[in-house]
Amino acid sequence: MPGDAKSAFHPALAVNNVTNHIPVKLGMDNDQYPLWVALFTNHAKSNRVLHHIITPKVAPTPPSTADEQELWDTLDATILQWIYSTVTTELLETIIEAESTAKEAWDRLANIFQDNRNSRAVTLEQEFSHVEMADFSSVSAYCQRLKSLADQLKNVGSPVSDNRLVLQLVSGLSPAYHGVGTIIRQSNPLTPFYRARSMLTLEEASIAKQAATSNSEALYTRGNLDSDSGGNSSKSTGSNNGKGGRGSGSGGKKKGNKGGKGHQGNGKGQGNSSTPAAPTATTPPTPMSWPGSYGQWQWPPSPWGYPPCPYPSNPWMMRPMIPRQQQGVLGPRPQ
């Protein structure tokens, strides 16, 4: 290998974890082969080992010494480990072979993902022409799918121009993006793909902001309506709890929405049902009285009040009580 020496340390041998540089995991059922190839070739070029997987236009000088051959074999095994570490287990079982070189493993992967180019091109072309934005959750996902299909078509020998990619991007837009789509397709020269993608992303952010503002205004208006309806109901409730009509005689007539129950005689009734109103500061309760040896006792007392215990009015009641002597068995005791 030209330029290599036993004492020189090759940069490819310093790579500890290749997945940090090639984060894509290539599998049998995914369409990330073009992306994986781009990342892998760039990593190999930065470490000066690209000629191990892709034959350059100018063939390199073969190793002339044992030391150069040993370094070549070490580098080739390192690149083979990189390939094995960035593919799925299913794909690894398909391409792995004993005593295989890095270029042989690389070519086997190319045959798996690039065989039957014409059939693949037809399938990819049909899918590319029917991509609709409505099938994706965001503008970024929609644009990424178009770009991925364009890369796959390029990989099978049917490259897609940037103008065609932009026109397909505009034709599959949702109705909400027709305004910005018109601006893109009427530009002369046609807007590049990445600029068109940026314009659609900004439009998406603007639409999302408008939707959030509309929702906030709707919630605010609804809250005001609920507050107004609550105040009206409170007013109507208060109007139903007014005073009743006057009672005359034993029954009394009721006036207003819901009359009160009249007391004996002339008085005002209060309440909104047939239940007697509770005593208030303006409606004194009916006194309760019961007979006793000291006169009438009323509760609650009159405004001027009675003493808690009535004083006796007869003088003889002022004298102390003398207990009676109990008679014995033989009769009263002689005096």
Do 16 and 110 fall within a single domain?
Answer: yes
Do 176 and 146 fall within a single domain?
Answer: yes
Q: Is 252 exposed, middle or buried, given 0-12, 13-18 or 19+ CB atoms closer than 10 A?
A: buried
Does residue 170 register a pLDDT over 70?
yes
CB proximity list for 257: less than 8 A, separation 6 or greater = 239, 240, 242, 272
Residue 146 lies in a domain: yes
Residue 68 lies in a domain: yes
Residue 52 vs residue 281, higher pLDDT: 52
Residue 186 lies in a domain: yes
Q: How much is the pLDDT for 107?
A: 94
Residue 310 vs residue 54, higher pLDDT: 54
Residue 214 vs residue 86, higher pLDDT: 86
CB proximity list for 262: less than 8 A, separation 6 or greater = 246, 247, 248, 249, 250, 251, 252, 253, 269
User: pTM for the full model?
Assistant: 0.54
Do 107 and 171 fall within a single domain?
Answer: no
pLDDT band at 264 (very low <50, low <70, confident <90, very high): very low
Full residue range of the structural domain in which residue 82 is found = 11-114
Largest CA distance in the chain: 164
What is the C-alpha separation between 70 and 63, in angstroms, rounded? 9
Least-confidence region, from 107-116, 206-215, 307-316, 326-335: 307-316
| Residue 245 phi, psi (nearest 5) | -85, -175
pLDDT band at 132 (very low <50, low <70, confident <90, very high): very high
Does residue 179 register a pLDDT over 80?
yes
Q: How much is the pLDDT for 256?
A: 41
What is the C-alpha separation between 92 and 84, in angstroms, rounded? 6
Does residue 230 register a pLDDT over 80?
no
Do 149 and 207 fall within a single domain?
Answer: yes
pLDDT band at 167 (very low <50, low <70, confident <90, very high): very high
Do 108 and 62 fall within a single domain?
Answer: yes
Does residue 288 register a pLDDT over 60?
no
How many domains are there within the chain?
2
Do 17 and 107 fall within a single domain?
Answer: yes
Residue 62 lies in a domain: yes
Please give the average per-residue pLDDT across 219-235, as a whole number: 60
Residue 42 vs residue 259, higher pLDDT: 42
Residue 220 vs residue 271, higher pLDDT: 220
Residue 262 lies in a domain: no
pLDDT band at 103 (very low <50, low <70, confident <90, very high): very high
Mean pLDDT is highest, among 63-67, 131-135, 294-298, 329-333, for 131-135
Residue 184 lies in a domain: yes
Do 110 and 155 fall within a single domain?
Answer: no
CB proximity list for 51: less than 8 A, separation 6 or greater = 60
Least-confidence region, from 117-121, 158-162, 194-198: 117-121
Please give the average per-residue pLDDT across 101-126, as a whole number: 90
Do 104 and 20 fall within a single domain?
Answer: yes
Last residue of a domain, which of 53, 85, 114? 114
What is the C-alpha separation between 144 and 139, in angstroms, rounded? 8
pLDDT band at 226 (very low <50, low <70, confident <90, very high): low
Least-confidence region, from 141-145, 239-243, 301-305: 239-243
Q: How much is the pLDDT for 157?
A: 86
Do 57 and 124 fall within a single domain?
Answer: no
Mean pLDDT is highest, among 23-37, 282-296, 301-315, for 23-37
Residue 49 vs residue 331, higher pLDDT: 49
Do 17 and 105 fall within a single domain?
Answer: yes
pLDDT band at 168 (very low <50, low <70, confident <90, very high): very high
Do 89 and 44 fall within a single domain?
Answer: yes
Residue 239 lies in a domain: no
| Residue 87 phi, psi (nearest 5) | -125, 160
Does residue 52 register a pLDDT over 80?
yes
Average pLDDT, the chain: 76
Residue 82 lies in a domain: yes
SS3 string, the chain, reads CCCCCCCCCCHHHHCCCHHHCCCCCECCCCCCHHHHHHHHHHHHHHCCCHHHCCCCCCCCCCCCCHHHHHHHHHHHHHHHHHHHHCECHHHHHHHCCCCCCHHHHHHHHHHHHHCCHHHHHHHHHHHHHCCCHHHCCCHHHHHHHHHHHHHHHHHCCCCCCHHHHHHHHHHCCCHHHHHHHHHHHCCCCCCCHHHHHHHHHHHHHHHHHHHHHHHHHHHHHHHHHHHHHHHHHHHHHHHCCCEEEEECCCCCCCCCCCCCCCCCCCEEEECCCCCCCCCCCCCCCCCEEECCCCCCEEECCCCCCCCCCCCCCCHHHHCCCCCCCCCECCECCCC
Last residue of a domain, which of 211, 245, 260? 211
Do 97 and 142 fall within a single domain?
Answer: no
Q: How much is the pLDDT for 320?
A: 56
Residue 283 vs residue 245, higher pLDDT: 283
Q: Is 167 exposed, middle or buried, given 0-12, 13-18 or 19+ CB atoms closer than 10 A?
A: middle
Last residue of a domain, which of 157, 177, 211? 211
